Structure 1
Amino acid sequence: MYPSISHALYDIFGLNVKLPVQTFGFFVAMAFIFGALVLKFNFKERYERGLIPIVVTRLVKGKKLSIKEILPNVIFGFLLGYKLFYAFWHWTDFSNNPQELIISSEGNLLGGIIFAAFSYYILYRDRKKELEEYPEEKEVEVKQPPQDLVWEITFSCALAGFVGAKVFHFLEYPETLAELFTDPSSAIFSGLTFYGGLLFGMATALYYCKKLKMRLFDLLDIAAPSLMLSYGVGRLGCHFSGDGDWGIVNNLDKPTWFNFLPDWLWAFKYPHNVNGEGVLINNCDPFWGYHCFELQEAVFPTPLYEFLACLLIFLVLFLLRNTLLKTGLIFSLYFILNGLERFAIEKIRVNVVYEWGFIQPTQAEVISLFMIIIGIIGFVFFYKRKPN
């Protein structure tokens, strides 16, 4: 396993390069990038076929700079420079634990002042150029094809999704809430629950429905394949970092029908996992530091199973996007398949269970079961509904 990209470069290529990029964070970023590219393709395809309108935004040009505009830009510039300058002069510490630096109060005051001044200059320069074109305030219409807003939509939904994933993680593991005060970097940058992110992301999508003049389920239909692909790529981050999101102990003999696949796909000990869980690895290279541990017993590598399942579901949704054209069908199918995938994998995953009398479901099992039911009802409803 590779706690950071530096560990991957060292293990694969023998390069001892210190980079402040955690493996899990890298794959999360890749998940959003791949998802955004597919989303942009789907938007462009539907826009060119006349299925979704051009986006018209009304803006006021020729306004003088106000404190409300200056202050956020200057503060952001200051914080960016404050952290970047400090990271540059303390590169080794930053590359070993970037999240600790981001959360801490450590920084470089001179760097903050330089970046704050530069941020103000850029804002002032752009507004001066605008005032030359619009000496008086004037409302103008800006027209954009919807695919041009994809990165804005992705960033907004990602931010809301992160908050939702943390909220649901704290609901599932309430004992970790105290870490916000005792170990904030660990509490913020670890432990995410996908379904919380999905629900908060959908809430953000409501805002863009109004902006894009689209119905909610039209937007969700377009986004469904992207959501599935992003989730799958994110699961690779769980696997390659070894973040604890693995399966139960697997002492079963490898079945004969599985023989053509490598042993680690059946049972895996997650050596050098980012959590430092398990027993000490003999003759461990000092480069790995405190990541010289592997699980005492092999477990099911469930993140890999989920990645493969998500990739298959993504292909199904993507290939059916021009067949199931009635509003809501693709997203309803996404709900059904996503729920089935997650409900099935929960049977071999390590998770906290709820004690509900004679049944002990996990949070994900409860949510995925509701997703399956809602998806089936939605599919039948939208299928029978007359096309608009």
Structure 2
Amino acid sequence: MYPNLYYVFKDWFGVKWNGLSFLNTFGLMVAMGFVAAAIVLSKELQRKEKQGLLSPREEMITVGKPASVSELIINALAGFVFGYKLIGLFFNKPVDVNPQEYIFSSQGNLLGGLLLGGLLAWFKWYEKNKQKLKEPESRKVRIWPHDRVGDIIILGLIFGIIGAKFFDNLENWDDFIKDPIGRLFSVSGLTFYGGLIVAAIAICWYAAKKGIKIIHLVDAAGLALLLAYAVGRIGCQVSGDGDWGIFNSAYITNAEGKVAIAGPGEYQQNLEKNKAYFLSGQVYNKDSVLEQVTDRIYESLDKVPHKSVKAPSFIPVWMIAYNYPNNVNKDGVLMPGCDDEHCRVLPQPVFPTPLYETIACTLLFILLWSLRRKIKVPGVMFGIYLIVTGLERFTVELFRVNNKYSIFGFHPTQAEIISVALVIAGFILIFIVKRKAKTSN
């Protein structure tokens, strides 16, 4: 596992640069997911613009004005925050403090913050001063929908995080009540569908305000979301962020921390051996003191969720059973001979569900990308996206552990409920837009 870039460079190049430990691989892959989404969305919007389906909007802008006080203050504040935190991460972070915890703390490098804040404010002043005119002019410019992709991505990022946090705390309400501030500002705890729903509402509001036809925007966005999700899930798999599946009882984690085939009765013996982990979420640390490492706690060993699936000869074992060594959550038992910050491995292998979602969403993206020119009715592409993403997530939920609700004798997870709703919504949308297209013809 590569919880951050320190481990990547250590494994690939044999160097130990502690300054790289703040660059979380999960965050890096999420950022790359947003970049991929921006590229796909921009290309699709440009294609629809050439077809005459989307039109530009003319807006008035003022050029030649010097930098305003508010612009200088905003740039100075942004620079101060980045300098205070990023320079602090390299030169001031205590060794025993997690980089993510440091980011959300009050600690930092004051001099670094002041220097970067002043530098960004000066750059803004210099940039505006170069373009300054004796008399500022008002000009009419034509802005196409693809020119607004940057704004759309930023809205998706901000409201996606808000929605992901909201739905995660809704799903884990008891934990939220115990520590609302900690849960809100924790770097963990994000629900994909929550982010999708809230971000979609914000982006549709923005599109309507800017005169972008929503039906064509969502058709393009569906493709972008599939690819972004596939890339983002790579981050979950590579970092070991805890979003894995249920335990695979066909294998065990042996004394060396490796995945091994379970012999008769060895799975139960492994549960008994690590009873404290499964029943209380605790394991012994290097000082032989019990330490809390996970919130996945079960009433009894019989209630530990698992399936027994052996990997076929043509599939690597780690695609079926993986124990996430060096995971970013520091979840599991200590790995023998490891002295780094992330030295834990799951005591029992699990199904690597982030890997399954990456593969599934990549294949679905390729399929829908190849079909996009053949689909002529606006809205059908987004309807197909809703159906396939709902089916994909519902299938993966069969191998994942989430809190369950009790509804009329059924016990679905939040993701399963939303998955079914998305599939139904997708079929309804396709029916409506096709019927509307026939009527208009």
Q: TM-score, normalised by structure 1?
A: 0.89
1:140-167 deviation line (CA, Å, top 9, x unaligned): 2222443333233212211211111111
Question: Secondary structure of the residue that 2:141 maps to in structure 1?
Answer: strand
Equivalence map 1:40-189=2 (5 Å): 40-63=42-65, 65-90=67-92, 93=95, 97-132=98-133, 135-136=135-136, 138-177=137-176, 178-179=178-179, 181-182=181-182, 187-189=185-187
SS in 1 for 2:36: helix
1:65 Cα offset (Å):
5.0
- Residue 285 of structure 1 and its aligned partner are, at CA, apart by 2.6
Q: Do residues 376 (structure 1) and 427 (structure 2) align?
A: yes
Using the TM superposition, give the Cα deviation of residue 88 of structure 1 relative to its aligned residue in structure 2, in angstroms.
Answer: 4.1
Range 222-231 or range 16-25, more displaced: 16-25
User: Residues 163-202 of structure 1: CA distance to partner in whole angstroms, max 9, x if unpaired?
Assistant: 1111111111123435453577xx4311110011111221
CA separation of 1:14 and 1:47: change in aligned 2, threshold 3 A = same
CA shift at 1:238, angstroms? 1.3
CA contact (8 A) 2:248 2:309 kept: no
Decide which of 300, 314, 330 is 1:260's aligned counterpart: 314
Structure 1 pair 93–149 and aligned structure 2 pair: CA distance change class (3 A): farther
One-letter amino acid matched to 1:31: G
Structure 1 unmatched ranges of 5 or more: none
User: Out of 204, 207, 222, which is 1:209 matched to?
Assistant: 207
Q: For the residues of structure 2 that align with 1:26 and 1:239, how far apart are their CA atoms?
A: 13
Alpha-carbon offset, residue 267 of structure 1: 1.5
What secondary structure sits across from 1:305 in the alignment? helix
2:191 equivalent in structure 1: 193
- 1:23-57 deviations in Å (ceiling 9; x for gaps): 21111112111121212221222223333223433
2:223–2:369 contact (8 Å) kept in structure 1: yes
- Match of 1:313? 364
Match of 1:241 in 2: 239
8 Å contact 2:245–2:351 — kept in the other structure? Answer: yes
Q: Secondary structure at the match of 1:140?
A: strand
| 1:238 maps to amino acid | C
Q: What does 1:14-33 align with in structure 2 at a 5 Å threshold?
A: 14-18=14-18, 19=20, 20-33=22-35
Offset, 1:64: 5.8
Q: Say which is worse superposed, 261-270 or 51-60, in terms of deviation.
A: 51-60
1:351 is aligned to 2:402 = yes
Q: Distance in 1 between matches of 2:112 and 2:345?
A: 41
Q: Distance in 2 between matches of 1:85 and 1:250?
A: 43
Instruction: Report % sequence identity.
Output: 37
What is the alpha-carbon root mean square deviation over aligned residues? 2.5
What is the CA–CA distance in structure 1 between the aligned matches of 2:411 and 2:183, rounded to whole Å?
30
Q: Equivalent residue of 1:189, what SS?
A: coil
In structure 1, the partner of 2:8 is 8
Q: CA separation in 1, counterparts of 2:50 and 2:182?
A: 52
TM-superposed CA distance for 1:250, in Å, is 1.7
Q: Distance in 2 between matches of 1:196 and 1:356?
A: 20
Is residue 362 of structure 1 aligned with residue 413 of structure 2? yes
Distance in 2 (alpha carbons) for counterparts of 1:197 and 1:182: 19
* Cα distance, 1:313 vs structure 2: 1.3
State the distance in 1 between where 2:86 and 2:343 align: 30
Separation in structure 2 between the aligned mates of residue 75 and residue 12 of structure 1, nearest angstrom? 37
Instruction: Say whether the 8 Å CA contact 1:326–1:382 is kept in structure 2.
Output: yes
Give the paired residue count: 379
Cα distance, 1:117–1:264 mapped onto 2, change above 3 Å: closer
Contact 2:243–2:354, Cα closer than 8 Å, also in 1? yes
After TM superposition, give the deviation of residue 254 of structure 1 in Å.
4.4
How far does residue 246 in structure 1 lie from its aligned partner after superposition?
1.0
How many angstroms does 1:277 deviate by?
2.1
Q: State the Cα deviation string for residues 325-362 of structure 1 (Å, max 9, x = none).
A: 21111111100111111111111101111133521110
SS in 1 for 2:398: helix
One-letter code aligned to 1:232? A
Aligned-partner Cα distance in 2 for 1:224–1:56 = 27
CA contact (8 A) 1:238 1:245 kept: yes
Go from structure 1 to structure 2 and tell me whether the alpha carbon gap of 1:254 and 1:124 turns closer, same or farther (over 3 Å shift).
closer
Q: 1:59·1:140 contact (CA, 8 Å) conserved in 2?
A: yes
TM-score scaled by length of structure 2: 0.79
2:80, 2:13 → 1: CA distance? 37
Q: Secondary structure at the match of 2:328?
A: coil
Asked if structure 1 preserves the Cα contact closer than 8 Å seen for 2:54 and 2:213, the reply is: no
Q: Offset at 1:232?
A: 1.4
